[in-house]
Amino acid sequence: MLDYLATDYAGAVKDGAVISTSEYAEMREFTATARSRIAALPPTVATPALLQQADTLVASVEAKATPAQVATQAHALADALLQAYPVPTAPERAPDLARGATLYQNQCAACHGATGHGDGPAGLLLSPRPVNFTDQTRADQRSALSLYEVISQGVAGTPMASYAQQLSSDDRWALAYYVGSLAYAKEAVAGADTWQHDTAARAQIADLKELSRARVAQLTPTLGAERARTIVGYLRAHPDVIQQQALAGIPLARARLAASLTAYRAGAKTQATQLALSAYLDGVEPVEPQLNARDSALRAQLETSMGAYRSALSGNTPVESVVKQADAIDGLLVRAQEVTADAASDAAAIFLGAFTILVREGLEALLVVVALLAFLRKAARPEALRYVHAGWILALVAGGITWAIASYAISISGAGRELTEGLSSLFAAFVLLGVGLWMHQKSIGGRWQAYLKEKMAAALNRRSAWFLFGLAFISVYREVFESILFYAALWNDGQEVWLLSGIAAGAAVLGLIAWVLLRTSRRLPIGTFFSASSALIAVLAIALTGKGIAALQEAGWVAVSVAPVPHIELLGIYPTWQSLLAQLAILVLLAVGFVFNIRRGRQRLPSPPTTREVLPDAD
């Protein structure tokens, strides 16, 4: 409906005046209906923003705004809807255009005409008249996805009915691609040469999902109308090409970086930012495992520089400054391409990468789980241990399922991965903040034996035990999730033996660390144990906060302002002001909480416990 509005509004309003009363009435009806349907959708965190966009669109139509403004707002709202309520937006395989042509003649030609001009014998009797698919001005606003949805859903208030029952999904996609190519028949003939040699054009569309959602009007600011029509026309007529010759990895990142600069010069700031984000998520992120194994410092530098570049695009940064940033990033990408060129054939790099990933990602989760286990043993509550063990074991199982999904079922996008990492990191940091303050309170409270005997039954009831399960699960799964996707990328490099060897070596190191920490914790006096645990958990909360903000920056949710500090990934320290300020806020909360605990402990318990007072082992 929004796409129909974006396409047909130009036939209702021109220069601020209504040129077709019936069309304008339909446009007003469509905006009101779209707004009411959005309000009726299951609520999400995006609902307020969606309703605000819908209200803005309604107001623009009421004010008889320009067709370009209404089209932009309608398409933006449609894109936001697809993000908030994901649905399949592309065919599973390249559509069969020959099949689409046959279906068109059998199902559509009577109304739309044999050549798509909207002049079929049945169509001449309809009101409103069928769409002329060869009208480029109209076709420029439409994607293959929008045509597929019209075929599937029909258009209320018009003779266009739904074909969801008559045609399979593959047939509807074939028909949509065929219909979408009719306006660009001439351009498609010259498209092969453009697709082969025009890197900037190839940077715009990397897979069937992007091709299905691509519109000429969307690509025009970067490519110009003629090149955009040539590329879209050629790829819609030959969708199989996109799977055979599309750019990928660092070449895709470089091409999209250049395209983002072109879009920014043309004044298309939103598109420039989206292209820059895609340059990292779709170009750099898939090769991060190889890059990390060879040059982790270069990967970190790319991450920060590309984040700062996106922030510059979002502001009113002078073009000259943006050009300098883009040139510097392109130089880093050239180095990254050289570094990763032969990484797949380097067994040592694969082994080291697999080992480093597991130890780096697993250490944080291990520390949380070990602290929980040691705490329960100190508290003489062995029956609660099974909740912690169930948490981390099920996290590993969920990781295996994630591997299967990422490898065989669906492709987890870079943005989806970063959002999962970022939000789970911040959630874990928030939980650990509370746990750390609680442990610190108990470390200075005194009279441990009395406290544990009198309070532990209440403190570790069934609800608290499930809380321990949840904390163990989320702490382990967030690390497993990232590791699994790294390993899925490395697995495709053909060095499976070395990859598995690296994982085994990393697991052995983590097992040794866990054994040492558990044995050490048994010998610590209870007060010392709680003090050390609270300090450790506080550090983990700070580190996870930095990592969470960094992941949201990579996903484009948080801006990036470079700060003059070193990058220390183990501690979650990133050279951006946003992550540092978030960590500073956590540090302040911890400091305030610790001071409060100390004062409260002195007032309530003036007689501290003996330093050698230790509970018997609860093994």
Q: What is the CATH number of the domain that holds 148?
A: 1.10.760.10
Distance in angstroms between the alpha carbons of the first and the last residue of the chain = 64
Percent of the chain whose pLDDT exceeds 90: 23
608 inside domain: no
Name the burial class of residue 458, with classes exposed (0-12), middle (13-18) and buried (19+) by CB atoms within 10 angstroms of its CB. exposed
Are residues 442 and 298 part of one domain? no
Are residues 326 and 231 part of one domain? no
Are residues 270 and 308 part of one domain? yes
Give residues with Cβ within 8 angstroms of 232, minimum separation 6.
184, 214, 215, 216, 219
Taking the C-alpha atoms of 84, 87, 93 and 99 in order, what is their torsion angle to the nearest 10 degrees? -130
Are residues 134 and 106 part of one domain? yes
| Mean pLDDT for the stretch of residues 14-20 | 90
Quick one: which of 302, 450, 452, 446 has its CA closest to 375? 452
Quick one: which of 610, 450, 278, 230 has its CA closest to 270? 278
Q: How far apart are CA 394 and CA 358, in angstroms?
A: 18
Are residues 550 and 426 part of one domain? yes
505: left (phi over 0), alpha (psi -120 to 50) or beta: alpha
Three-class SS of 180-233: HHHHHHHHHHCHHHHHHHCHHHHCCCCCHHHHHHCCHHHHHHHHCHHHHHHHHH
262 inside domain: yes
Q: How far apart are CA 38 and CA 116, in angstroms?
A: 33
Are residues 56 and 10 part of one domain? yes
619 inside domain: no
pLDDT tens readout for residues 509-549: 888 888 887 787 777 666 666 677 677 778 878 888 888 88
Is pLDDT above 60 for 413? Answer: no
Is pLDDT above 80 for 211? Answer: yes
pLDDT tens readout for residues 422-437: 676 777 777 777 766 7
Q: How far apart are CA 440 and CA 530, in angstroms?
A: 6
Are residues 79 and 3 part of one domain? yes
The domain in which residue 318 lies consists of 247-341
616 inside domain: no
Q: Give the relative orientation of helices 462-491 and 347-378 as an angle to the nearest 10 degrees.
A: 170
Give residues with Cβ within 8 angstroms of 370, minimum separation 6.
514, 517, 518, 521
- Report pLDDT for 443: 59
Are residues 253 and 220 part of one domain? no
H/E run at residue 14: strand 13-14
553: left (phi over 0), alpha (psi -120 to 50) or beta: alpha
Supply angle C-alpha 49, 51, 57, rounded to 5: 105
- Across 81-85, 202-206, 532-536, which has the greatest mean pLDDT? 81-85
Please list, residue by residue across 139-163, b when 16 or more beta carbons sit within 10 angstroms of its beta carbon and e when fewer do.
bbbbbbbbbbbbbbeebeebebeeb
Q: Give the relative orientation of helices 47-62 and 67-84 as an angle to the nearest 10 degrees.
A: 160
In 3-state terms, what secondary structure has residue 298? helix
Quick one: which of 109, 108, 139, 111 has its CA closest to 123? 111
Are residues 389 and 304 part of one domain? no
Average pLDDT, the chain: 80
Strand ranges (E), 321-421: none
Helices first, then strands: H and E counts in the chain: 28, 2
Q: Which two tokens stand for residue 478?
A: 């967030």
| Cβ neighbours around 273 below 10 Å, total | 20
Is pLDDT above 50 for 458? Answer: no
Are residues 228 and 211 part of one domain? yes
Q: What is the pTM of this model?
A: 0.61
Q: Which two tokens stand for residue 569?
A: 């990934």
| Mean pLDDT for the stretch of residues 212-222 | 87
35-49, 289-303, 304-318, 461-475, range with the lowest pLDDT: 461-475
- Report pLDDT for 538: 81
Q: Is it true that the peptide bond before 128 is cis, omega within 30 degrees of 0?
A: yes
| Mean pLDDT for the stretch of residues 184-193 | 85
Chain centre to alpha carbon of residue 611: 50
613 inside domain: no
One-letter identity of residue 608: P
Question: What is the residue-wise DSSP string for 253-287?
Answer: HHHHHHHHHHHHHTT-HHHHHHHHHHIIIIIIGGG
Domain count, the chain: 4
Supply angle C-alpha 8, 13, 17, rounded to 5: 175
607 inside domain: no
How far lies 399's CA from each of 12, 288, 418, 501, 542, in Å?
53, 19, 16, 19, 25
Are residues 597 and 484 part of one domain? yes
Are residues 143 and 77 part of one domain? no
One-letter identity of residue 589: L
